[in-house]
Amino acid sequence: MTDLFSATPDSLATLREARLAATFDRVFAAHPHYRALFARLGLRRADFQSLADMQKLPPTLKADYVADPASFQLGPQGAPPDEETAVWDTMYTTGSTGAPTPFVSTGYDFPNILAIQHAMMRLRGITQADSVLNLFPLTRVPHGAFARAMHACAAFGIPVTAALPGRPSERRPEIGQHLDAVVATAARVRPSILWGVPSYLHKVLARAEELGAGLPSVRLVFVTGEGFGEEARATVIAQLRRLGAPDPKVSVSYGATEMQGGMVECTAGAGYHNPAPDQFLFEAVDPETHLPVPDGEEGLLLLTHLDRRGTVLLRYSLGDVARLARTRCPHCGALTERLLTVPHRVDGLVKIRGMLVNPLTLVGAVMSEPGVRECQAIVDKEDPADALSMDRLRIKVVCTDEAASALHARVRLAIGVTPIIERVGPEDPVFADRGWKAKPLLDLRQPVV
């Protein structure tokens, strides 16, 4: 077994060639989508002799997968399930449009997922002395976050408490906790790690301050699921210091349902490490031509599964661009791919009054204003009936008086557009039922035809 830290370039390449060959054997035998694609392109098994031959295969787009997720599940179809093929669990992607897309893992895949989570813990410098407070909510359809945080602690053999924020089901009012109870839980179990979505973490920390609760045991915060910039990192660290944590740090993960885990930092600024180079292969290609870009240059990220039995994706476009490095990490010594920049959507920019706006920059600017609890940015038209009327940027925000008066200038500085600040209570319908992976900017404009 090749270890993340002891692997040499040769041993890793040899292992990956073997894994890829076995994956191609299985895919040619029993993968409905790729069998049909190979037939259309006239590609045979013999055309894929090595990693270098991968480029004969066009990238798989999210639209292909979303259109027919069952066709991405490795067969053989109709055979009685055995320990390799029996479905262990199904998680769903959180696409911005349409129905959630199932991502199936089998009995073979689940130990691999535990190994991914174990490696993420190692890269993040977790020890047996650590304990986790899982702040992910239960979602209406299963996503990875809540369950995989529990599994990560199982894989690493450390204690975890699930805070279960919110009310997961109206039918079961005894399940779930309100914000104050979550704060009380955090104070009681004294976790060394808080793990959750940035916007909710921020809320917990702000409420803990209001209640005068202390969180001196916290040394690390794991965030995933939403964009998280350097300003937000500094805000969370300052909040934790005020709560008594002597030296808190934030560890950011770039996660994807298609990984059932995430690419993590070993230390701030070291990039986002592929935790399982024996399971995942990453490429960066030109978004237009799909030709490889040189290491260190920005490219569209492609993910290939090297060792899966359920949903299997080859050269799958995650829809994000980033700069990729393949050299050994100078900080932790791991030999694996690293993303040197925070990945961002190829198509993520939104035009408001002619300005191209990155929604994550906008939300980052709002949330980093002290005194802001929660926000939702909305872009619509001054006259909703007139598609050609002026764009209007509104920010619904739960905040203090001071924060409200500071937000205009802060947002204009960050994105070049002056917003309308609408102060609302936390019970405002815009915050209700928006799931754990909220859209940073709701665009309500009708397309101009």
What does the binding site for Zn ion look like in residue numbers (CB under 5 A)?
A: 266, 270, 329, 331-332
Q: Is 398 helix (H, G, I), strand (E, B) or coil?
A: strand
Query: With respect to Zn ion, which residue has the nearer C-beta, 133 or 266?
Result: 266
Q: How far is the CB of 333 from Zn ion (least distance, A)?
A: 7
Q: Is 81 helix (H, G, I), strand (E, B) or coil?
A: coil
Query: With respect to Zn ion, which residue has the nearer C-beta, 326 or 423?
Result: 326
Query: With respect to Zn ion, which residue has the nearer C-beta, 256 or 329?
Result: 329
List the structure tokens of 232. 């937000």
Q: How far is the CB of 267 from Zn ion (least distance, A)?
A: 7
Query: With respect to Zn ion, which residue has the nearer C-beta, 182 or 266?
Result: 266
CA distances from 194 to 216, 217, 218, 336 (A): 12, 10, 7, 26
Judged by phi (left if over 0) then psi (alpha if -120 to 50, else beta), residue 42 lies in left
Q: Report which of 51, 88, 133, 62 is spatially closest to residue 337, judged by C-alpha positions.
A: 51
Q: How far is the CB of 404 from Zn ion (least distance, A)?
A: 41
**Contact assessment for residue 216 and residue 245, using Cβ atoms and an 8 Å cutoff:** yes
Q: How far is the CB of 151 from Zn ion (least distance, A)?
A: 23
CA distance 262 to 166: 25
Query: With respect to Zn ion, which residue has the nearer C-beta, 313 or 332?
Result: 332
Query: With respect to Zn ion, which residue has the nearer C-beta, 201 or 266?
Result: 266
Within 10 angstroms of residue 46's Cβ, the number of other Cβ atoms is 8
- Beta strands 193-196; 220-223: pairing state: parallel
CA distance 194 to 208: 13
Q: How far is the CB of 332 from Zn ion (least distance, A)?
A: 3
Q: How far is the CB of 273 from Zn ion (least distance, A)?
A: 6
DSSP 8-state symbol, 434: -
Query: With respect to Zn ion, which residue has the nearer C-beta, 117 or 139?
Result: 117
**What H or E segment, with its residue span, contains residue 318?**
strand 316-325
**What H or E segment, with its residue span, contains residue 320?**
strand 316-325
Query: With respect to Zn ion, which residue has the nearer C-beta, 124 or 392?
Result: 124
Q: How far is the CB of 419 from Zn ion (least distance, A)?
A: 38
CA distance 88 to 236: 36
Query: With respect to Zn ion, which residue has the nearer C-beta, 177 or 267?
Result: 267
Q: How far is the CB of 259 from Zn ion (least distance, A)?
A: 18
**Contact assessment for residue 21 and residue 15, using Cβ atoms and an 8 Å cutoff:** no
Q: How far is the CB of 107 from Zn ion (least distance, A)?
A: 32
CA atoms within 13 A on the CB side of 34: 29
CA distance 128 to 85: 33
CA distances from 379 to 114, 182, 442, 444 (A): 41, 33, 6, 6
